[in-house]
């Protein structure tokens, strides 16, 4: 039997799906935090439930303890919560800190990033190297005119350069926003135009499923439709020779090795995540991906339910290399999709049931 947080012994909750071993509990950060509270503040909490109850009853005490335990920097600002109302709560009103500075406190050869590509090639970036790259990238962004409060947007995949660019942006006190390069032009512009970016960091293509997807035309159109852009940094491509284009290596070429961090208030924006199209347009953007992997070749079918630019549907299907759904023998039965595949020996059609993964988002 378990108890719900703060519920006391009399309120039974559902049985836990998983319970950590005693050894794992002993090594946990929570255990270290509870011992720290006992040693530093004389606060002895015998269970998780007691710790949870204290954390919601004594907000100033809890958050100041978290600030000190994790060594955020300097004495904890007081009060932790200036205005206790929702919406409108104001946390740490007197705090001045920088997200990138806290992320880069470690400066040794311990791995900070582990990454791999489709070819199975593995790579590592240490904390020391990450710090150097962030310093160089931040200096390069400053040379392009980026200052505190400016917006830097990224049209990038999950690569180390994306982490470097994000931390470099944060170190300046600028604001980050990003989209993956498989996004269509309209979707990217809808998101980025709202924040009026000064700099775009982008790739002109990406590899997926063993195929190179050329995004040069899409990138050119995105740049054309973002009138506030002053510069574009191209990652991974040849040296940029277009007006307003800078190569990634050129951005890092200043030789700076120590980042300069701009302290900002606790309420200062770090990142913008778009949830509505430009101009407040209400939009549904739902994509279902059905992946069928039977004995025959793999098929990927996407259904687009969109109250917006229908060109995006054609672009996504063309990029995925799949025909229209009607040509795939795809039928829907209730909430399940079944993919109709012919037998290799020419026998009757077989139905195979496959999982549906929702990878879209509904706006409105």
pLDDT value, residue 2: 42
The yes-or-no verdict on residue 269 having pLDDT over 70 is yes
d(CA 173, CA 2): 45
Q: Is 303 helix (H, G, I), strand (E, B) or coil?
A: strand
Neighbouring residues of 75: CB distance < 8 A, sequence distance ≥ 6: 68
Q: Are 289 and 319 in contact (CB under 8 A)?
A: no
129 and 264 inside one domain: yes
Chain mean pLDDT for the chain: 77
For the entire predicted model, the pTM comes to 0.70
Q: Are residues 131 and 181 in the same domain?
A: yes
Token code pair at residue 353:
């049931």
Across the range 125-138, mean pLDDT stands at: 97
**Torsion angle, alpha carbons of 50, 56, 60, 62, to 10:** 40
66 and 121 part of one domain: no
In a shared domain, residues 57 and 10: yes
Instruction: Say yes or no: 316 and 225 in one domain.
Output: no
Average pLDDT over residues 120-138: 96
And the tokens for 143?
């040379």
Do 270 and 294 fall into the same domain?
no
State pLDDT tens for residues 202-213: 999 999 988 999
DSSP type of residue 63: H
- Domain's final residue, options 278, 296, 317: 278
User: What pLDDT shows up at residue 76?
Assistant: 83
Domain that holds residue 318: 282-362
Choosing from 262, 278, 294, the residue where a domain stops is 278
Tell whether 83 and 106 lie within a shared domain: no
Whether residues 230 and 194 share a domain: the answer is yes
User: What pLDDT score was predicted for residue 255?
Assistant: 80
Between 194 and 327, the higher pLDDT residue: 194
Tokens describing residue 209: 């499923």
- Our count of domains for the chain comes to 3
What confidence tier does 11 reach under pLDDT thresholds 50, 70, 90?
low
How far apart, in Å, are the Cα atoms of 123 and each of 99, 113, 114?
Answer: 25, 8, 6
Residues 210 and 88 placed together within one structural domain of the fold: no
Is residue 48 located within the same domain as residue 89? yes
- Out of 59, 78, 94, a domain closes at 94
Give the model's confidence band at 156: pLDDT under 50 very low, under 70 low, under 90 confident, else very high. Answer: very high
Residue 286 predicted with pLDDT over 70: no
Q: Give which of 217, 98, 123, 198 is closest to 154, Cα–Cα.
A: 198
310 and 204 in a common domain: no
Q: What is the pLDDT of residue 326?
A: 38
């Amino acid at each position: 039997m378990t108890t719900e947080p703060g519920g006391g012994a009399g309120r039974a909750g559902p049985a836990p799906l998983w319970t950590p071993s005693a050894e794992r509990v002993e090594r946990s950060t929570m255990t270290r935090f509870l011992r720290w509270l006992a040693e530093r503040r004389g606060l002895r909490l015998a269970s998780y439930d007691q710790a949870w109850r204290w954390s919601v009853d004594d907000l100033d005490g809890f958050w100041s303890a978290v600030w000190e335990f994790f060594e955020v920097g300097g004495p904890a600002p007081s009060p932790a919560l200036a205005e206790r109302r929702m919406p409108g709560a104001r946390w740490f009103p007197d705090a001045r800190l920088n997200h990138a500075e806290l992320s880069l406190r470690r400066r040794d050869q311990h791995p900070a990033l582990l990454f791999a590509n489709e070819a199975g090639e593995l790579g590592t970036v240490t904390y020391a190297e990450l710090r150097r790259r962030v310093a160089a990238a931040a200096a390069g962004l400053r040379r392009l005119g980026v200052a505190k409060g400016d917006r830097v947007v990224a049209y990038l995949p999950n690569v180390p350069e994306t982490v470097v660019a994000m931390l470099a942006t944060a170190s300046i006190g600028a604001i980050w926003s990003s989209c993956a390069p498989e996004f269509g032009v309209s979707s990217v512009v809808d998101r980025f135009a709202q924040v009026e970016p000064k700099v775009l960091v982008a790739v002109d293509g990406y590899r997926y499923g063993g195929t190179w997807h050329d995004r040069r035309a899409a990138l050119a159109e995105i740049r054309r439709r973002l009138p506030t852009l002053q510069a574009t940094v191209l990652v991974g491509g040849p040296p940029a020779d277009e007006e307003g284009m800078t190569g990634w290596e050129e951005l890092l070429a200043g030789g700076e090795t120590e980042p300069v961090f701009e302290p900002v208030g606790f309420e200062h924006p770090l990142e913008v995540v778009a949830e509505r199209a430009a101009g407040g347009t209400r939009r549904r953007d739902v994509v279902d991906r059905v992946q069928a992997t039977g004995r025959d070749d793999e098929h990927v079918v996407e259904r687009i339910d969109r109250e917006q630019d229908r060109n995006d549907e054609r672009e996504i299907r063309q990029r995925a290399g799949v025909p229209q759904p009607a040509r795939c023998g795809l039928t829907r039965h209730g909430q399940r999709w079944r993919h109709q595949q012919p037998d290799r020996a020419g026998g009757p059609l077989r139905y195979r049931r496959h999982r549906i993964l929702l990878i879209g988002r509904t706006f409105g």
